[in-house]
Amino acid sequence: MNSTKRVTVKDLARLCGVSTGTIDRALNNRGRIDPETKAKILETADRCGFVKNQYARALSSGRPNLIGVVILNLKNEYFPAVLTGIDAEAHKRGYSTLFSASGYSADEERDCIRRMLSMNVAGIIVCSVQNDVSYYEQIRDAGTPVVAVSNLLGEQIPYVGIDDRSAMRDAAAHILSRGYEKIYYVAPVLSKKGQNIAAQALRYEGFLTAMEQSGVEYEVIDTNDKLQSLTIPSNKRCALLCSSDVYTQRCIAKYRGCDNVGLMGFDNVESLRVLFPDLTTVAYDMGLIGEEAVSLLLDGGGSDKIVPYRIIEGKTI
Amino acid sequence: MNSTKRVTVKDLARLCGVSTGTIDRALNNRGRIDPETKAKILETADRCGFVKNQYARALSSGRPNLIGVVILNLKNEYFPAVLTGIDAEAHKRGYSTLFSASGYSADEERDCIRRMLSMNVAGIIVCSVQNDVSYYEQIRDAGTPVVAVSNLLGEQIPYVGIDDRSAMRDAAAHILSRGYEKIYYVAPVLSKKGQNIAAQALRYEGFLTAMEQSGVEYEVIDTNDKLQSLTIPSNKRCALLCSSDVYTQRCIAKYRGCDNVGLMGFDNVESLRVLFPDLTTVAYDMGLIGEEAVSLLLDGGGSDKIVPYRIIEGKTI
DNA sequence: CTGTTAGCGCTTTCAC
DNA sequence: GTGAAAGCGCTAACAG
C-alpha cells in the first residue's frame, strides 16, 4: 500500500476515455470543452485524488509558482513577521514560498540564492548581508526579478520597507521634544564592516541629522562591548534610543535599573508589544512589507515601495 | 538583456562537443568519465553560469529535493526556532524548505498540504491543528512521509518533540518543592474544542499528576477571560505555571504587580531569555526538534524522537 | 569512457 | 470540441 504510484493526467485520460489535451482543458478551464466531459473529468480527478505535478507543469509551461525568500535569521522577530506577510500574499496568489536563512553569511546567502534559482523561482525576495549589488543585478538581468526587503540593495533593485532615515530622525526628534539632555544611540551593528547594513546606516544618518540641529549631547554605542559596559549618569536626563528592537530587548535591563532614564525602541516587535506595552517606539507593519514585496515581485513595476511608520508615544520617553 | 534564456545541459553539450549524457556524468560525478573532459565541462558550466533546473531533475529522476513544512504561526516564537533547525538541516542535506503557515485553520492547513504534495515534496513536517489523523495516514500511505512536530498526530505518524507530560509534571513538582500553597495553571488553549491540542493536553495531564499526589490547591486558567480577570490573593504563596511561553509573556505583568508570587515559564523562548534571564522555566532545544524532524523524515525509521528538556532554576520560583 | 535514446508529467500547438 | 504529437531540461539504461 506504500508508495502507490500517483495518478497522472494520462491515467485520467485513460479512465475518462479522452486525450490528455482534453484533461488539461478541463483542469485549467482553458479553451472550448463540452461541459459534460468537463464535469466527468473533474469528478473522476477528484475521486482518484489527483494532484497535479507542479514540477511537470512548471517545466512544461515555463511558468513557475514558487517565490524564493532569503532572510538573515529567524531569531530577529522582524523576519518572522515579514515572512508571515510574504507567505500570506504568496499563497493568495497561488504561489508557494521557498524559504532559507543566510545566518548573516554572504557565502550562505549565495548558496541559498543558487538553490532558489535552480528551482526556477518566479522571483527572489532578499534581505542581503552582502554589499555586492552587481550580483543581484546579474540575477535580475538573467530574468529573475529581485526585491530587497529592509536592506536597500543599490538603486537598481526595487526595495520595500520604511523610510529608515526619516523614521529615525523623527524618533530622535520625539525624544528631544521631551527635554532629554543626552541621548545614547544604541546600534552595535554599526561596527560591522563589509556587511550590508544599509538600513542601519540610514537610520544613523537620520539620527545625526536630528541631533546636529538640536545641539544636544549624544553618544553612539556602536559595539557590543560598549553596550555591555554602558553606565548611565544620574546627574542628567538621559535617553536610550535603540536602532532595532533586538537592542531594545538588551537595553531593558539597563533601563529598569535607573530612574529618570528614557528608552525608545524601533520596530515594535511582538514580544515587546506584549511585555512592554508602555514602550515608546517606532512602529510599522512588518507583515505589510512582506505582502508588498510579493506584489512588487509578481506585478513588476520596478519602483520602491515605502511603507508608513508612526511614532508610538508610550511612557518610556 | 532581460530574460536571457538559461543555459541548459544541451547547450553545454554543444559547447563542449560532447553528449548530454557526458555532461550529466561530469555534473553529478556519476560513472566513469575522463578527468579532462570532466574538468572542461565543469569549467564551461561555471563560465556560462549554468544552474541545473531542479524541476527537470526531480521530474526525470523521481527524487525530490524539497521538504514541506506546515506550522501554525510564526508569531509564536517556538516556530521560528524550530524552522531554523529544519532549514539548517535540510540545507545541509541538499534540500530546500517549502514553508507555509496555517494560521490555526484546518482548511488552510489542508490547502498547504495540497500545495506541498503537488510540489512532490520528499516529505512533510507538520504541526497540525486538526485531529483527523487518518488524513495524514492516507498521505503517508500514498508515499509521502509525514513527521509531526510539537503536536502528536496519533500513534502512526512519527513525532518529534519533548515528553510534554513528564516535562510539565517536573515543572509542577519543582514549584511544589519550593513550598508554594496554590498553583495557577495558565493554559487558555485548553478551552479550544475541535482542535488538535495534543501537546497541551499532555502537559495538562502531567500537571494534574503532580498536583494530585501533592494535595496542594490549584486552579486552572483555561480561558482568556479567566486570565484577563485573574487576581492573585496575597494571603498565601501562589505561583503561576504557564503551559507555554505565549502565556508566560502575558503573565509577566501580573507577576510584576504582586510581591510574593511565583512564575514559571515553559519553552524558554528567545525574547524571555533575553528580557527575563531570571525566569524559572522548562527549556529544551527547539532548533534540535527541527533538525531531528528532518532526519526522521529523510532517513525513515518510523519511531518517535524525544528531545530532552531541563528545568532552569531561575529566581522567579 | 562516451553517445543515443526514451522517458518523467504536463502544456501547447496544430490538425481534424 | 477533441486528439495527436512535440517538447520543457534532465536522468538513466543500454549500447558501443
Q: pLDDT tens across B170-210, in order?
A: 999 999 999 999 999 999 999 988 889 999 999 999 999 99
The nt closest to A11 (CA vs C1′) is: C9
Confirm or reject contact between A257 and chain B (CB < 8 A): no
CB proximity list for B4: less than 8 A, separation 6 or greater: A141, A142, A143
Do residues A255 and A316 lie in contact, with contact meaning Cβ atoms separated by under 8 Å?
A: yes
Q: Which amino acid is at A200?
A: Q
- For residues A168 and A279, membership in a common domain is answered with yes
Residues A158 and A180 grouped into a single domain: no
Give dist(CA B309, CA B285) in Å, integer: 8
Among B56, B74, B116, select the one facing A83 at the smallest CB separation.
B74
A104 touches chain B (CB under 8 A): no
By three-state DSSP, how is residue B195 classified?
coil
Q: Is residue A79 part of a domain?
A: yes
- Domain extent, residue A143, equals 60-162+287-306
Answer whether A1 touches B (CB < 8 Å): yes
Nearest to B97 among A51, A75, A99 (CB): A99
Look at residue A1 in the predicted model and tell me its pLDDT. Answer: 35
Inform me whether the C-beta atom of residue A119 falls under 8 Å from chain B C-beta atoms. yes
Does A1 fall in a domain?
A: no
| Cβ proximity of A11 and A48 under 8 Å | yes
Shared domain for A297 and A263, answered yes or no, is no
Of A1, A119, A249, nearest to B274 by CB-CB distance is A249
pLDDT value of position A3: 47
Tens of pLDDT, residue by residue over A214-265, are: 999 999 999 999 999 988 888 899 999 999 999 999 998 777 767 789 999 9
Q: Do residues A39 and A73 share a domain?
A: no
Q: Closest residue by Cα to the C1' atom of nucleotide D1? A: A33
Question: Buried b vs exposed e over B194-220: b needs ≥16 C-beta within 10 Å?
Answer: ebbbbbbbbbbebbbbbbeeeebebeb
Query: B-chain residues within 8 Å CB-CB of A88?
Result: 101
Q: Are residues B150 and B292 in the same domain?
A: yes
Identify whether A316 is part of a domain: no
B1 lies in some domain: no
pLDDT digits (tens, 9 = 90+) for B3-21: 467 899 999 999 999 999 9
Instruction: Compare all CA atoms of chain A with the CA of B51 and give the residue at the minimum distance.
Output: A118
Q: Based on the number of CB atoms within 10 Å of its own CB, is A141 exposed (0-12), middle (13-18) or buried (19 or more)?
A: middle
Q: Which residue is nearest to nucleotide C13 (CA to C1')?
A: A21
Residue % of chain B over a pLDDT of 70: 98
Q: A100: which chain B residues are within 8 Å (Cβ-Cβ)?
A: 87, 91, 96-97
Whether residues A75 and A45 fall in one domain: no
Residues A278 and A293 in one domain: no
State residue B257's pLDDT score.
67
Looking at the structure, do residues A252 and A301 belong to the same domain, yes or no?
no
* Dihedral-angle region of residue B13 (phi above 0 means left; psi in -120 to 50 means alpha; beta otherwise): alpha
| Shared domain check, A113 and A212 | no
Instruction: Work out the minimum CA distance from A214 to partner chain B, whole angstroms.
Output: 33
Question: CB-hemisphere CA count at 13 Å for B122?
Answer: 22
Q: How many domains in chain A?
A: 3
Q: Is the CB of A9 under 7 A from strand C?
A: yes
Task: Give pLDDT, residue B2.
Answer: 40
Q: Are residues A275 and A185 in the same domain?
A: yes
**B245 neighbourhood in chain A, CB within 8 Å:** none
CB-based contact B115 A96, cutoff 8 Å:
yes
A152 found inside a domain:
yes
H/E element holding A45?
A: helix A35-48
Q: Looking at residue A259, what is its pLDDT?
A: 74
Low-confidence ranges of chain A (pLDDT < 50): 1-3
Higher pLDDT, B49 or A80: A80
User: DSSP E strands: which ranges in B62-204?
Assistant: 66-71, 96-101, 123-126, 146-149, 159-161, 182-186
Shared domain for B97 and B27, answered yes or no, is no
Contact B130, B151 (CB under 8 A): no
Instruction: Report the alpha-carbon distance of residue B108 to residue B137 in Å, rounded.
Output: 18
Query: Helix, strand, or coil here: B34?
Result: coil
**Which residues, in sequence order, are CB contacts of A314 under 8 Å at separation 6+?**
A276, A277, A278, A279, A280, A281
The enclosing domain of B17 has a CATH number of 1.10.260.40
Does a structural domain hold residue B311? no
Position B115 in a domain: yes
Nearest-angstrom CA–CA distance, A186 and A255: 13
Same domain, yes or no, for A132 and A101?
yes
Closest Cβ opposite residue B51 in set A56, A91, A114: A114
Nucleotide nearest residue B24, measured CA to C1': D11
Residue of B nearest to A245 (CA): B271
Residues listed for chain A: 317
Is A61 near chain B, with CB under 8 Å?
no
Contact call for A142 and B54, based on CB within 8 A: no
Residue A37 lies in a domain: yes
- Residue A185 CA to D7 C1' — how many Å? 61
Interchain contact, B59 vs A74, CB within 8 Å:
no
CATH code of the domain covering residue B88: 3.40.50.2300
Quickly give B120 CA vs D12 C1' distance in Å.
20
Q: How far is the CA of B8 from the C1' of D9 (A)?
A: 7
